[in-house]
Amino acid sequence: MFRKSIPLKWCAGVLLLLLLASVRLNAQEALRASMAGDLAAASRKQAQNTVGYYNLMWGPVTLRASSGLSEQYSDHPQNAADSKADFITRPSANIQLNWPVTEYNTLNLSLDGGYSLYAQDSALDQFFFNPGSGLSFDFYVGSWVIDLHDRLTMTENSYNNPTAHGYQGTTTVQNDGGVSGMWDLNKLVVNVGYDHVNYMNLGQSGANQPDSSTENVSLNAGLRVNSAIIVGPEVGGSLVTYNQTDNALNSNGTQWSAGAFSSFQVSEHLSLRLDGGFSDYTPENTKTNLNQNMTGLYFQLSVSHLINEHVSYTVSAGRSMDFSYNGLYDRLFFSFTPNWLIVRNFSFSTPLSWEQDTRSGVSYSQWSAGFSVGHPLTKKLSASLSYQWIDETSNQAAYTYTGNIAGLNFTYQF
């Protein structure tokens, strides 16, 4: 749906912000929280300017609604060497709402979640909310674009966070509430943000992992050198707080990061993004070897390339020191995601990724590879088949495993 009443400079500003922010897909906590908001705003803007994206209307409110059903098999649902295979049924629903409250104020709601039913171990049954679920309100103050937001993620797939080992609880919740502001000066775009993030465990009580939270502030400024190059500095800071500080494995602490980023639009179909800098984490309690200062360089290279109408890919590689539910970890990572449209009405993807951590209490190295293929069955109903192979090696034998996950998914678009 096109919003003709919104000045074109705001659309350009959001796209520019995406370029300067998207270099931080997996970086320090404050900058990562800010990045999530930038991507969400850009995604909303893209949706609003896509004809036919919203398929329902209720007065001034436009909606996009769909439902889904998936059947999945996992031979290691709890990420441990001795976890038992299970079949999981997941009914789900996806609702995206856009309400232009006034000419320059917009309310957005996105809910993408459902319920997981385990055939063998009903104790694992749970609700889930996928990344992207949340509420936001965008408005303008002079030359500033302000975004108030609250984003929710509830996941059971702990292999997506390898620091959540074995039976530490497969259900984790992350709630991010905050505000971000963008000041668009044409040649220069300044972005500031504050986010409060809660990390909660809803899994097994024996995980011995206290809930935690972070307070995050970030600032970056992108200078448009020319139509193809954007460069600038970025800084961020975080305060990490645990609900229980008597656990010797955890400690409150502070983290800050400072560096620079650059974005290169090499051609219409090829873009490169590079950033790097220095990060420091200082815990309040250094009584154990697990709670020590972590300092070092972070860097990331991202590539997005549309080779032709049939083949595209993205690449991301680098190093970051991230805070997750199970604490801070020093992470080397690489991911390669090609997409193939080589058979009429079939879409293929064959992702490959690797990451390694040697600084957390339980270090690991994880490989992941797989494929997915999607096909529309009718105008409104589509199906996809997926498979994922995960191989994790840990310094704890119980957490070393090889997993296989296969799924069949159906989606109905109203």
Q: pLDDT digits over 259-298, tens only?
A: 999 999 999 999 999 999 999 988 887 665 456 778 889 9
- Tell me the pLDDT of the chain (414 aa) as tens digits: 333 333 333 333 333 333 333 333 333 555 555 555 555 555 555 555 554 677 788 888 999 999 999 999 998 777 666 778 999 999 999 999 999 898 889 999 999 999 999 999 888 888 889 888 999 999 998 889 999 999 998 877 655 555 555 554 557 788 999 999 999 888 999 999 999 999 887 765 445 567 888 999 999 999 999 989 999 999 999 998 888 755 556 778 888 999 999 999 999 999 999 999 999 988 887 665 456 778 889 999 999 999 999 999 999 999 988 766 556 678 899 999 999 999 999 999 999 999 998 765 667 899 999 999 999 999 999 999 999 999 988 887 777 888 899 999 999 998
Contact 193, 232 (CB under 8 A): no
What angle is formed at CA 142 by the lines to CA 22 and CA 36, rounded to 5 degrees?
20
Q: Is residue 141 part of a domain?
A: yes
For the full predicted model, state whether its pTM sits above 0.85: no
Q: Is residue 293 part of a domain?
A: yes
Find the helix or strand (DSSP H, E) in which 323 lies. Answer: strand 311-324
Q: Is residue 1 part of a domain?
A: no
Q: pLDDT digits over 3-59, tens only?
A: 333 333 333 333 333 333 333 333 355 555 555 555 555 555 555 555 467 778 888
Calpha distance 108→42 (Å, rounded): 12
The domain tally of the chain equals 1
Q: Is residue 3 part of a domain?
A: no
**Domain membership of residue 320 as a residue range:** 8-413
Q: Is residue 117 part of a domain?
A: yes
Calpha distance 4→342 (Å, rounded): 36
Whether the CA torsion 21, 22, 27, 33 is positive or negative: it is positive
CATH of the domain at 186: 2.40.160
